[in-house]
Structure 1
C-alpha cells in the first residue's frame, strides 16, 4: 500500500500522505506537506472522471470564491492545480478538529465558551456578506479549530454570490441547518446564513437541534442569549437580524464586557505576582472563558473516511450530493483496498496546470 506520493503545483511541490482529514462533496481530503516551506496543508483531491458539467460549474464557483477570501476565521486556499487524472485544492490545515467532534466528545458548552466560538463564526460570516457571498452550508462539521482554539469556517462547496441582494432559489446545504425559505424553495438572501448561525449556537449550547416554534432552553442560559436565538430562528427572514446586528446585540455586548474584564483580571494578577517577586507561573488559560470538562456523551460515529456522521440527514444536499457509496478516488469504501492512495502508483506529477475558473478538465 502506497503511504505517500508527490505532486507538483504551480507554487510548490507537495507530499500527499495517506492520512484522511475528511471527505467533501466531490473528493477526499488528505494531509499534505510543502517541500519548500515544510508547512502542512489539507489537500482536497477530486477525480476528474467523476465530474459532471454541474460539478465543474460548482468547482469553478468554489475556487473563484475561496481564492478571493482573506479573513482570520476562514480557511484560506493556498493554490489549486490539476494533472491528467485529478484536481487538487491545497487549503490551510487546521489540526484542532471541528466543533461537531468537540461537542460530541465533551458535551454541550457553557454559554461563555459557546459565545467565544460563536463571535468568531459571526465575524467570518459578516465578512462573507460584505463580499456579497453566502456560505449556505454553515454547520458544526464545517467549523474547524486551530491548535490555539480559533475558529476557521471551511467548505465553500455551496457558496454563491448575491446578485442585487438575492440569489436564485436552490435547495442545497444540510437539512438540519436549512431555513424555511430554502426548504420551500422561496426567495433567498443573506438571512439564510443567519438561520444556520442560530442552529449552530443552539446546538453547541444543548448538543441537540432546536424544535423551532417550541424552543427549549437548558438551565443557565441567559435571557439575552435566549432572545438572540429566538431572533435568529424567526421563520420570516426579514425579522432575523443581520450579522452586524448580532454582534451588537445585548447578548454579545455582555459577553465582550465579561471577556475584557476577565483578561484585565488575569493581567493584573500576573503584574501583581511580578511585583511581589513570586516565582510562580500565572494560571494558564486557553481562553479567559474556558469551559469546564463534562462527562462525555460518547465518541462521534466515524465513517470509513474518518469524518463524523450525524445521521442519514447529516450530509450535504444538492446536485453533487455524494451518497458515500464509493470513494472519490475510485475504490469502494467498504473494500479492503479502500486506501485513498490505492489507485496511485509511485509517480510524480509534472507540468502542473494552474487551476482557474475556466480550466477544470
Structure 2
C-alpha cells in the first residue's frame, strides 16, 4: 500500500502550497520505499525504513493513519515539522498523502534512547536496565522494576517517575534528597538517568516483607521485636531530620524488613526539605487520613514532629493491630485526630509502661509537645530494644489479629482505588 502511495503522490515542496494541493500533482517522486528492513510501532504511527532513490541513503518513514476525524491533528505534525531546522531536532525530508495514511519521510537517527545510552556510557557503564523489565510495584509516584548491574549481575531496583513540565520540580526533589542519604536503615541511591518523559532512579534492591506483614507471618510476635523495629525507624528519622529532610509518609507500607531483621525505609516521593521559615503545604499529604497528623488536618503544614506522629501511628498498629482512632473515614475521624482522642483500650493487654508512655508522647495532639527522634531514642524502653539487653520475660501478641487488620486494610485500599478510577 505504501509503495502505491509513494508512486501516486508527490512530496510537498514547501513553495507556499498546502500538502493536499501539492499531492494532487502526480509527478515521479524523488523518494521511494525499497525493502523494509525494520519497523517500530509507536502511539501515533508506525516507523519503517526507506531509501532515497538518487543516492541510496537510508531515511525513516513514519506512517500515520489519516481519517476524516483525525486529519487536522495528523496534518498538524507535518506543518510543524516542515518549519523545523535545528541540530537537535529530527529533520523532515518529504511527505506523501494517501486517502488512508500520511507518510512523513524523516532523517534516520540511529542510536540509543537517552536512558539506555547513559546506562552503557563511560560514567554509568556498570549499570544496565533490563530490556524486559519485570514490574513488581506500581506506586503513587512511579513504577518500580528490576535492573541488573552489568559487571556483577547483581539485581537493583529502578523507580521510573513521570517527568513533565508541571511535575519536574517535585520529581527532581526526590533525586536531590536521595543522593544525600547514606544510612543503614534508608534505601540507597546508586544512579539516576533523566529523559524528556521520565526520571529513572537506580536504587538498592531491598528484598523482604513490609514491616506489618513480617510481624504477622508466625503465630505471635513480641513487644521486644516491635521495639527493635521502632528503634531502627527512629534512627533513620533522626538521621533525616539532621539533614533537614521530612519523609512525610512513614507508613508500614513504605518499610521493608530484609534478612537479619534489618529494616529499610523506602519511597521518598512525599519527602520535603524542611525550612523553618517556609510552610510546607499539607495538600500533598491527604491520601491516608488514618496516619495524618493533626497539624496537617488543621492546614498548618508539615514539620519534624509530623514524622514522629506517623511513627507513633505505626507503633500503635503494631501494639494493637488497629488504628489509634475510629476506622471510619470522614469528619468524625478528623475530629478525633485533631483532638488526639487515642483509643488506648484497643492496645494489647500486658503492654509495658514504657510502650504506653512512648505512644502517649508520640501521639500528642500538639506537635511541639512530641519528642524529637533523638529524644525518643533516649527513652529507656527504646534503648533496651536497640541494645536487645532486656532481662524481663517478653510479652507476646497473637499474629492472627494483625493478619485480619492487613486484610481489612487491603480491602479498603482496593475500594479506594476503584472509586478514584
Same fold (TM over 0.5): yes
**Is the aligned partner of 1:26 residue 2:115?**
no
Q: Which residue does 2:89 correspond to in 1?
A: none
The alignment partner of 1:198 has SS state of helix
Write the distance in 2 (CA, Å) between the matches of 1:104 and 1:37. Answer: 35
The alignment partner of 2:282 has SS state of coil
Alignment match of 2:403 (pick from 291, 297, 309)? 297
The alignment partner of 1:44 has SS state of strand
Alignment match of 1:59 (pick from 168, 171, 196)? 171
Write the distance in 1 (CA, Å) between the matches of 2:349 and 2:319. Answer: 11
Write the distance in 2 (CA, Å) between the matches of 1:311 and 1:254. Answer: 36
Residue 27 to residue 38, structure 1, CA distance change in 2 (3 Å): same
The alignment partner of 1:311 has SS state of helix
**Is the aligned partner of 1:139 residue 2:139?**
no
State how 1:272-351 maps to structure 2 within 5 Å: 294-295=399-400, 297=403, 309=410, 311-312=412-413, 325=421
The alignment partner of 1:68 has SS state of coil
Instruction: Note the C-alpha offset of 1:165.
Output: 6.6
**Is the aligned partner of 1:46 residue 2:161?**
yes
Instruction: Note the C-alpha offset of 1:20.
Output: 3.0
Q: Which residue does 1:341 correspond to in 2?
A: none
**Structure 1 runs not aligned, ≥5 long:** 1-5, 263-288, 303-307, 316-320, 326-361
Is this contact kept in 2: 1:15–1:35, CA < 8 A?
no
Q: Larger helix proportion, structure 1 or 2? A: 2
The alignment partner of 1:148 has SS state of helix
The alignment partner of 1:171 has SS state of helix
Count the aligned residue pairs. 281
Q: Which residue does 2:360 correspond to in 1?
A: 230
For normalisation by structure 1, the TM-score amounts to 0.69
For normalisation by structure 2, the TM-score amounts to 0.59
**Is the aligned partner of 1:255 residue 2:385?**
yes
The alignment partner of 1:15 has SS state of coil
Alignment match of 1:160 (pick from 268, 272, 283)? 272
Residue 86 to residue 253, structure 1, CA distance change in 2 (3 Å): closer
The alignment partner of 1:234 has SS state of coil
Q: Which residue does 1:337 correspond to in 2?
A: none
CA deviation profile, 1:1-20 (whole Å, cap 9, x unmatched): xxxxx945252223265433
Moved more, 204-213 or 147-156: 204-213
Residue 107 to residue 196, structure 1, CA distance change in 2 (3 Å): farther
Residue 293 to residue 189, structure 1, CA distance change in 2 (3 Å): closer
Q: Please give the root-mean-square deviation of Cα atoms over the aligned residues, in Å.
A: 3.3
CA deviation profile, 1:236-288 (whole Å, cap 9, x unmatched): 0111111111001132134346x1367xxxxxxxxxxxxxxxxxxxxxxxxxx
Structure with the bigger RCO (C-alpha within 8 Å, sep 6+) is 1
Is this contact kept in 2: 1:104–1:207, CA < 8 A?
no
Is this contact kept in 1: 2:354–2:381, CA < 8 A?
yes
Is this contact kept in 2: 1:144–1:154, CA < 8 A?
yes
